[in-house]
Structure 1
Amino acid sequence: MADRMRQIASAAFAAVVAVLLATGCAPEPASTPSPTGFASEEEAFAAAEATYRAYVDAVNARREDPASEPDPTWFLTGRALEVDLDGDRRLAEMGLRIEGPSRVKSISFSDASDTQAEVLVCLDSTASRVVNEAGEDKTPSDRASVVGLEIKVIWAIPSALIVESTTSGSQC
């Protein structure tokens, strides 16, 4: 039974780290990409990087103060929003939460078009931990402290949104 709980906690934590835990709200319909008119791939990358960094900042602020704004889910749509809400629900069902900040260790350009950009992120969760309702550390001992993520950002009106976040096979 303890092994099963550990597997469930580890799986839930991995899903949450892939998208960073944010507090839940009802999912909105997926946004429709719109052309950006960016003059270059560099401009598209800068916008995707700014969106992802703002999302991480919102997640970290929400972990410190549940009423903080912006709500991290405001940066998500589609599959990224669904996975985030599901991860949050699963942790709550198990009586777990994530404490402490994550930080972007690095972000690099992968690909861009006039409607989306893909970036590779190394997310450092060294300072975060999974705790139960009693405040006991339940962080899986085999958790990687730095995770590689592939992030897809779409250009939607009125702002860019993260539509997909998956773990990457690349080393950070």
Structure 2
Amino acid sequence: MISPTPSLHTSSGLVRLGALLMVFTITVLAGCSPTPTPTPTTTPAFTSEEEAFAAAEETYRAYNDALNAVDLGDPSSFEPVFAFLSGAAEATTRKAFSEFHAAKMSTTGATRYDSFAGESANLESGSVTATVCVDVAEVEVFNELGESAVSPDRPDRQPMLITFERSTRALELRLSAQSVAEEVSCAQ
């Protein structure tokens, strides 16, 4: 009678055992293949435009407060302003403050704003664009001799287009660009 279990002592038994070991090894190795790294799902920066615009206005208000606390004679007072800036806005402001400090300029008065209108918001990236009517009627800038450095043609109210970007260091917004909003007018 033939045994249902092949004998390991015959050549056909060794072949079957070798085939079985190969199948087992392939199965084990296939199970040990690295699992793909899961792709993290991105969380939107904002859930609505209203939330994005409110965050941008809060950032702008804090930036404006920091700006009003600047003493051009004390460069350490610049740092709180820089904390709200990134990109071109930060580079331009750093350069201007450095030049004003070197020229021994000084300021009086406070910058205010009375309208903030959200224009667009990318809820995924956190990029927000808004127009702001900035009131600089009280702001005076003086040179080292105490003479006004403000152009007599400077409008008291200036429409600005502000771009905010989500900070890479935190989930906060930073002003990344600002320019005159030619197509917007501010009531005088």
Regarding TM over 0.5, the answer is yes
Identical positions, percent:
29
1:136 & 1:35 partners in 2: Cα distance? 52
CA shift, 1:118, in A, is 0.4
AA at the equivalent of 2:58: A
**Corresponding position: 1:43 with 2:51:** yes
Question: Is the radius of gyration larger for structure 1 or structure 2?
Answer: 2
Structure 1 spans left out of the alignment, 5+ residues: 1-33
**Corresponding position: 1:117 with 2:128:** yes
The equivalent position to 2:112 in structure 1, one of 94, 98, 103, is 103
Answer whether contact 2:133 2:160 (CA < 8 A) is retained: yes
**Which sits farther off after the overlay, 160-169 or 64-73?**
64-73
What is the count of residue pairs matched by the alignment? 139
Answer whether contact 2:118 2:130 (CA < 8 A) is retained: yes
1:165 & 1:97 partners in 2: Cα distance? 23
Shift in alpha-carbon separation, 1:117–1:109, aligned structure 2, 3 A: same
The equivalent position to 2:100 in structure 1, one of 79, 91, 96, is 91
Scaled by the length of structure 1, what TM-score is found? 0.72
Answer whether contact 1:102 1:127 (CA < 8 A) is retained: yes
Answer whether contact 2:131 2:159 (CA < 8 A) is retained: yes
CA shift, 1:64, in A, is 9.0
Scaled by the length of structure 2, what TM-score is found? 0.66
1:57 & 1:65 partners in 2: Cα distance? 18
1:36 & 1:65 partners in 2: Cα distance? 41
Shift in alpha-carbon separation, 1:63–1:69, aligned structure 2, 3 A: closer
1:1-172 pair list within 5 angstroms: 36-63=44-71, 66=74, 71-114=80-123, 115=125, 116-156=127-167, 157-158=169-170, 159-169=172-182, 170-172=184-186
Structure 2 spans left out of the alignment, 5+ residues: 1-41
